[in-house]
Amino acid sequence: MLDNLVCIITGANSLTGIGRAAVYAFAKKNARAIYATDISEENLASLAEDVYKTTGVECIPKRMDASSDHDIQAVIGDAMARFGRLDVYFANAGIAGPHPMKTETQDEFLNMMRVNAWSVYAAIKYASEAMKKTCEGKPTSSGSIIATASVAGVRSGAGPMSYSASKAAVINLCQSAAWRLRGTNIRVNAICPGLIVTEMTEKVLAAIKGNGTMESTLTTSSALQRFGDPKRLPQWQPF
Q: Which residues are catalytic?
A: 163
CA pair distance 166, 160, nearest whole angstrom: 10
CA pair distance 87, 50, nearest whole angstrom: 23
Please list, in sequence order, all residues whose beta carbon lies within 8 angstroms of the beta carbon of residue 80, skipping any fewer than 6 positions away.
86, 130, 133
Segments in the chain forming alpha helices (H):
18-28, 44-55, 69-83, 106-113, 119-132, 161-180, 202-208, 212-220
- Paired strand residues for 61: 36
CA pair distance 89, 92, nearest whole angstrom: 9
CA pair distance 180, 157, nearest whole angstrom: 31
- How many whole angstroms from its chain centre is CA 198? 13
Please list, in sequence order, all residues whose beta carbon lies within 8 angstroms of the beta carbon of residue 163, skipping any fewer than 6 positions away.
96, 97, 99, 112, 116, 150, 152
